[in-house]
Chain A
Amino acid sequence: MSEPVHVLYCGECTLPVEYCEFGKTLKKCKQWLHENNSEQYNKLYNSEAPAQSSLSKEREAEISESLAKMQLKEERKQAREMRKLQQEKILIKRIPRTKHKNIIAISNLDQFDIDMKKLAKKFSSKFATGASVSKNIEKKEEIIIQGDVGEEVEEYLIEMLKEKGLEGVKVGIIDEKRHLRKKKEATGI
């Protein structure tokens, strides 16, 4: 009895696989299990014997119906949120510091369920520069990276979004205050 038991957890909903049927994402869970552990999949979803139950047939039907309803609702909700996310846009701003030095500010990231602090840390080690999370004028969080790494950041972000299945999200680079700088240079002469 001292041996620990290892339970297989679903990769989609994190519950033990036998509870997927009560979760909100049964379809995805099924797919996941099929790909990752077909033995368990056959046992759970393809066996002939119905789940053992002491309940009457009507009650059983009631339960499965309400579950199906909930799952459908959840699916629609997710699709809706996905669509909303697709229309979002990530902004990468290049802000000049001195004549030849720029910093990069990435804003509008918060909708995408990204840990900003971690990402900043990652950037700082990736580009070997300082990177931090700070609040901008609109009181929203953004990542500030020291150094002109806009293109690399863009590439990285697009790659990251692809992994999350958010290909439609736009990533745009803007140069800020360029005209202002020019004016300064003109007056400086």
Chain B
Amino acid sequence: MFKKFTKEDVHTQTNVKSSVQRALKAKLVDEYPKLESVIGDLVPKKSSVVLYRCEDKIQLYAVDKEVMFYQNFDELLPALRMVHMHPSCFPRVQVDRGAIKFILSGANIMCPGLTSPGAKLPDEDWPEGTTVAVYAEGKENALAIGKLLMSVDEIKKVNKGMGIELIHYLGDGLWDFNVD
């Protein structure tokens, strides 16, 4: 989504009203329940939240000049810097070492990269469309945010083709996006 994202794609920038800010927080907690304990730190009451409306109906939310969330259509998705700060709050999957290179150039993740010995998938079954933070073998931090194209059980069973659609990765347009 952000492979070719630049400053020119930003159309307007507006401050978010505090009432909208409150609704935003509620929505965040709703989507990522584990965030509840840290939401106060994440979006402090007196902070200024800025909304950037961009090309292709992408919306970015920046808290105190740091892009924290973005929205495409209805779903709120976390930015990677934010995932690095609170790693335990998001569902995680792990890919093997061979896949890192391709992910960092923006490729979607294929099933074999998720099922091989170096990779880790959760034991429980997550449905299709779940937002996941992608980690890598031997690395501590997340390297991408993606969305499941199949449910976890299906990935394990089919083991072929695309498993995760990549949304945001280290070094893409959003990562390099600077507020001022």
Contacts and interface: CB of A to CB of B under 8 A. Distances in A.
Interface of A: 1-2, 4-7, 13-16, 18-19, 22-23, 51-55, 59-60, 63, 66-67
Given A7-B141, A22-B101, A16 B84 contact: yes
Contact of A15 (B101, B116, B137, B170): B170
Nearest to A17: B141
A6 B85 CA distance: 6
Interface of B: 37-38, 41, 84-88, 96-98, 100-101, 104, 116-118, 137-141, 143, 170-171, 175-176
A contacts with B: majority SS: loop
A7 B140 CA distance: 10
A13 B171 CA distance: 8
A51 to B, nearest CB: 5
Nearest to A66: B101
A52 B141 contact: no
Given A14-B176, A63-B101, A4 B138 contact: no
B139 to A, nearest CB: 5
Given A55-B98, A66-B101, A18 B118 contact: no
B98 A63 contact: yes
A54 B116 contact: yes
26 contacts: A1-B88, A2-B37, A2-B38, A2-B41, A4-B38, A5-B86, A6-B85, A7-B84, A14-B175, A15-B171, A18-B141, A19-B141, A19-B170, A22-B104, A23-B104, A23-B171, A51-B138, A52-B137, A53-B138, A54-B96, A54-B116, A54-B118, A54-B137, A55-B96, A55-B118, A67-B101
Given A4-B85, A5-B87, A22 B100 contact: yes
A53 B137 CA distance: 7
Nearest to A118: B180
A5 B84 contact: yes
B104 A54 contact: no
A166 B98 CA distance: 38
B33 to A, nearest CB: 13
A54 B97 contact: yes
Contacts of B139: 18-19
Contacts of B117: 54
Nearest to A4: B85
A16 B97 contact: no
A152 B53 CA distance: 40
Contacts of B176: 14
Contacts of A18: 139-141
Pick the most buried of A1, A4, A22, A59: most chain B CB atoms within 10 A of its CB. A22
A2 B170 CA distance: 24
A52 B96 CA distance: 10
B178 to A, nearest CB: 10
